[in-house]
A = this chain, B = another copy of it.
Amino acid sequence: MMNMSRTGLWLVGAHGGVATTVAVGLAALQDKNNFGCSHLACGLVSQLPQFRSLDLVGWDQVVVGGHDIRQTTSLKEAQGLSSGTVPAIAPMLVEASRGFLKEFESRIRPGILFNAGSTIESLSSKDRVAAVDTPRQAIACVQKDLSEFITSSGCDRVVVVHIASTEPPPVIIEPLPESWSQFQGLLDHHDGPLPSSTLYAIAALEMGLPFVNFTPSLGSCPAAVQDLAVRKKTCHMGCDGKTGETFLKSVLAPAFAKRNLEIMSWVGHNIFGNMDGQVLNDPLNKQTKVASKDRLLRQMLGYDPQTHISIEYIKSLGDWKTAWDHIHFRAFLGTPMTLQFTWQGCDSILAAPLVLDLFRFTELASRRGETGCLTQFSSFFKSPLGTDENDFAVQFNQLTQWASSL
């Protein structure tokens, strides 16, 4: 492996379930011989035949680091995900990843904490939160960590992916300034409106590093931050990984539309018991998530069916999310009919490969000089930034067309 170039994947929320699964998965992908489990690569879009000819980063080249505000270790988190009778990760995979997780741990730095709401704050440990006064200082601190990572790991490229807990919607009293120069004024006051996710985005983009917002938090959404990406000749995208229930929505709703079946109501109930669920149990944080899950139906259908989305923290389910959706629709002669589905999936396991895919695709796009908000990856997001397209089949076509064009 000598002389092989290395590429960095920087995870904001490095101790979370998704990051931990990304790490265990990478360990497995890097050293298949030591892993008994076949089918490791299921769920990885970038491994599909359609993308075989792309010059994507090889699994062996990836180095992982990240930020987190919780006092724990990757190994401990991985063991947590693999315990119980119905674990999210097979125990033997964790065992085989010990070395990888230890190295990952050594590259995890304390995070920053701004406008994340009391629930997220209560999960943080004082030792694990960077001691800074202003957003500007926080950004500097994050950039220092990123620089050190680049130096120490020898990576020639780094992609920052935000997978930290969902923040409450920002309390914005006056509209955020649209130009970067004015926007910077918000960074000097301790009590500004910007949440951590946006500060991480700024930190990365200012350094010219691509930023991927896999959560519904604000991240790189503000116009001025998008402007920054363009000016720094780097790219960004978001928001909110489309993993389970919403993925199915973006598959099913267009099909109903194409059959002229009128959806009268779509009710979705989500129950799960991981830390994500715990944070979303806070009504403020939940608000951000529900908005992200709810918005796309109207865009796909062209009208507004009655919708109801609930997300409930049910401890016994752990990382296994169960969603029950009830779709009430009208067919010929006005006849009402019903489709119900129950989805039982493990959130971290669904999200982790998409994070790896986005890392690879973004790195390639960035390497090829694409800048600004990239929309060809909209199939990965619940609320794709820069496009209104939510039909999964159309979104996926855009991805394969991009790939063919390279």
Where the two chains meet, the residues of A that have a C-beta atom closer than 8 Å to any C-beta of B are 21, 24-25, 28, 37-45, 47-48, 84-93, 247-248, 251-252, 254-255, 258-262, 264-265, 267, 269, 271, 306, 308, 310, 312, 314-317, 322, 324, 326, 328, 330-346, 349-350, 352-353, 379, 391-394, 396
Docked-complex contact B260 and A48, CB < 8 angstroms: yes
Docked-complex contact A333 and B251, CB < 8 angstroms: no
Docked-complex contact A90 and B334, CB < 8 angstroms: yes
Query: Across the two chains, which residue of chain B brings its CB closest to A307?
Result: B314
Q: Copy number in this complex?
A: 4
Residue in contact with A332 in the complex, picked from B25, B261, B396, CB distance below 8 Å? B25
Query: Across the two chains, which residue of chain B brings its CB closest to A395?
Result: B258
Q: Tell me what chain A mostly uses at the interface: helix, strand, loop, or mixed.
A: mixed
Docked-complex contact B47 and A260, CB < 8 angstroms: yes
Q: A37-B333, A340-B342 are in contact. List 5 more A-B contacts (CB 8 A).
A: A42-B335, A93-B333, A271-B308, A337-B346, A339-B344
Query: Across the two chains, which residue of chain B brings its CB closest to A341?
Result: B341
Docked-complex contact A42 and B342, CB < 8 angstroms: no
Residue in contact with A349 in the complex, picked from B251, B331, B338, B341, CB distance below 8 Å? B331
Cα-based distance from A193 to B326 in the complex (angstroms):
40
Docked-complex contact B255 and A330, CB < 8 angstroms: no
| Residues of chain B lying within 8 A (CB to CB) of residue A84 | 90, 336
Docked-complex contact B316 and A326, CB < 8 angstroms: no
Docked-complex contact B336 and A339, CB < 8 angstroms: no
Cα-based distance from A360 to B216 in the complex (angstroms):
45
Cα-based distance from A260 to B248 in the complex (angstroms):
15
Docked-complex contact B271 and A259, CB < 8 angstroms: no
Query: Across the two chains, which residue of chain B brings its CB closest to A324?
Result: B324
| Residues of chain B lying within 8 A (CB to CB) of residue A37 | 85, 333-334
| Residues of chain B lying within 8 A (CB to CB) of residue A88 | 335
| Residues of chain B lying within 8 A (CB to CB) of residue A340 | 324, 341-342, 344
| Minimum distance in angstroms from A161 CB to a CB of chain B | 16
Docked-complex contact B345 and A45, CB < 8 angstroms: no
Can you list 23 A-B pairs with a CB-CB distance of less than 8 A? Answer: A28-B333, A38-B334, A39-B334, A42-B333, A43-B331, A43-B332, A44-B260, A45-B259, A85-B333, A91-B92, A248-B255, A265-B317, A271-B326, A306-B315, A308-B314, A317-B328, A322-B338, A324-B324, A331-B350, A335-B349, A337-B343, A341-B341, A342-B342
